[in-house]
Amino acid sequence: MNFVDRIVGAFSPAAGIRRVFERKQYEAVQRSMNAAKPARSTNWKPGTGSINSEINSGLHIVRNRSRDLILNNGYLKKAVKTLVSNRVGTGIIPKWEDPKVKALWDYWSKYEADYDEVLSLNARLAQLCRGEIESGEILLRFHVLDDPKLKVPLQVQVLESDHLDSFKTGRNEMGFAIAGVQFNDRGKRIGYWLFKTHPGEYTIPRDMVSEFVSAEFVLHFFDAMGRPNQVRGFPALSCAIWKVNDLDEYQEAHAVRKKIEACFAVFVTSQQNDMRIGVPGVAGQSDPGLEDIGPGMVHYLRPGEGVDFSSPTPSDGYEETTRTELRAIAAGSEVSYEQMTGDYSQVNFTSGRMGKLEFRQQTEQYQELLFLPMVMTRIVRMFVKVAYLRGAITKQEMPLSFTCPRVPLLDVQKEALGYKTLQDQRVLSRHQVQRELGYDPEEMDAEIRGDDLAPQLQPQTKAATDEET
């Protein structure tokens, strides 16, 4: 309370209280706006455009940098492999109610699904996941073929996001387009403008005229949980790109410095002009000068000559600096420092398990909210539709659920006991536990029933053990 407040309060206590109250509110507003003060953000000028304007303006630059770093930086390469192996692993299995549909899906996904006839469907799923991490988005195109040899005449083709014609932007006869994605007048996504060949392909003639492909036959996979109305994807590693590049330069500079430190250099000082290194000796001179050093050698210098040895200053803090930077890069790559580097010297079992649980939660969120609805559901729905029209199945039924990659246990005995306790307390069913661990309950039950040694390997109950005793 200042002098004026006290004077006003002496004549009108109500007005004085109101002045103090309003001043406190004003100070609170001022504190909350510190982040907007220009004194602390002189060089900070964020964009004000929409998410699509910001992405499309620099997408190709960031995408190319992301690909280059993943190709040439071992840490990012390991981070991407860790994400793909945990999110997709060796494949995601749909749970079919009809065994015939399950058998048809298994055959199609292994032998017929790939348009290039190189990989299985599960391998293409891993490629989709990797492409979304690396480039921010990736395309999968459905091809319905007229081939009587195929049990299900459907094949899928994975395309890089470069096939999208980013210059197709603006209004047209079908509505409007944003960066190669076509919308109708109501703002519904109805198709894509795709190049027939990759724009960067130089080995074959290129046709840089894009063609419209209906959204029914194109799967556009990107992180759609970003800002609302986002049309294109952005590389997930964009926030770590500069840190990775700076760390590469720092490590290269450190390696060069260490090479210089390891070199043994000698500097000879002399007052004679004809005694410089590389200058031939004078004719008839018995000692033209020594330029090599050998073990146990004794050599006498002339008057006025001296010898200095190089002693580069050693650099300290390299390991600590590198570890700090790698932690920041790992955070931007959505993996832990230990997963990215393979360095587990700073953790114990408890801290390692805590990191694993948090990473598992992020992986499950990615699977349940992105990969399953945007990728698996689309592929399965198209498979069911084409198989039904072909007459391979009698009704169009979607799978009941999906089984995601198996979760490795850190301590099998302790964690298995925990699952058993949850199952005994009716918190989880046996099939839920099997699916959570990445197994197909039906296949596992069938294998157990068909195992002739299963009765002999059953663990003894406590009652049976007491009777034998």
Query: What dihedral angle (degrees, nearest 10) is formed by the CA atoms of 327, 333, 339, 340?
Result: -70
Segment 363-384 mean pLDDT: 94
Q: Where are the alpha helices (DSSP H) in 43-136?
A: 51-72, 74-87, 99-107, 121-135
Report pLDDT for 24. 63
Average of pLDDT values for 423-433?
A: 86
Give the pLDDT band (50/70/90) at residue 276: low
Q: Residue with structure tokens 């590049």?
A: 245
pLDDT average, residue stretch 380-407 = 89
Distance CA 335, CA 128 (A): 19
Q: Is the pLDDT of residue 446 over 50?
A: yes
Percent of the chain whose predicted confidence (pLDDT) is above 90: 36
Burial class (CB in 10 A: 0-12, 13-18, 19+), 193: buried
Residue 215 and residue 190 in contact, taking contact as beta carbons nearer than 8 Å: yes
Instruction: Note the pLDDT of residue 205.
Output: 72
| Sequence-separated (6 or more) residues with CB below 8 Å from residue 263 | 310
Binned at pLDDT 50, 70 and 90, residue 45 comes out as confident
pLDDT at position 211: 93
Q: What is the pLDDT of residue 468?
A: 46
Asked whether residue 351 carries a pLDDT value surpassing 70, the answer given is: yes
**pLDDT per residue over 166-225, tens digit each?**
999 999 999 999 999 999 999 999 999 999 988 888 877 777 889 999 999 999 999 999
The C-alpha atoms of residue 404 and residue 363 are separated, in whole angstroms, by 10
* Distance, CA of 314 to CA of 254 (rounded, Å): 10
Q: What is the pLDDT of residue 414?
A: 78
Rounded to 5°, angle at Cα 143 from 141 and 147 = 160
**What are the tokens at 190?**
């109805």
Quote the pLDDT of residue 451.
Answer: 77
The 3-class secondary structure across 191-204, one letter per residue, is EEEECCCCCCCCCC
373-376 long-range Cβ contacts below 8 angstroms, 24+ apart: 374/219, 374/221, 374/224, 375/125, 375/128, 375/140, 375/219, 375/221, 376/92, 376/94, 376/125, 376/402
- How confident is residue 253, by pLDDT bands cut at 50, 70 and 90? confident
Q: Is the pLDDT of residue 111 over 60?
A: yes
| Kind of pairing between the strands at 137-144 and 154-160 | antiparallel
On the question of pLDDT at 9 being above 80, the answer is no
469 falls in which pLDDT band (50, 70, 90)? very low
Rounded CA gap, 374 and 368, in Å? 10
Residue type, 275: M
pTM over 0.95: no
pLDDT at 8: 67
pLDDT tens profile 121-163: 999 999 999 999 999 999 999 999 999 999 999 999 999 999 9
Residue 132, judged by CB atoms within 10 A of its CB (0-12, 13-18, 19+), counts as: buried
| Helix pair angle (318-332, 241-262), 10° resolution | 160
Q: Which amino acid is at 21?
A: F
Rg for the chain (alpha carbons), in Å?
34
**Looking at residue 29, what is its pLDDT?**
47
Could you give the CA distance from residue 52 to residue 75 in angstroms, rounded to a whole number?
Answer: 30
**CB-facing half-sphere around the CA of 457: CA atoms within 13 A:** 6
Given this model, what pLDDT does residue 208 score? 80
Q: Tell me the pLDDT tens digit for each residue of 23-40.
A: 665 555 444 445 555 655
Residue 32 is predicted with a pLDDT of 45
296-302: Cβ within 8 A, 24+ apart = 302/270, 302/272, 302/275
> What residues are paired with 141 via a beta bridge?
157, 218
Q: How confident is the model over 302-337, as pLDDT tens digits?
A: 777 777 766 666 667 888 888 899 999 998 888 988
Q: Which residue do the tokens 């759609």 mark?
A: 224
Handedness of CA 360, 362, 364, 366 (dihedral sign): negative
Note the pLDDT of residue 107: 95
Across the chain, what does the average pLDDT equal?
Answer: 82
pLDDT at residue 435 is higher than 50: yes
Q: How many CB atoms lie within 10 A of CB 335?
A: 24
Cα separation, 136 vs 160, in Å, equals 10
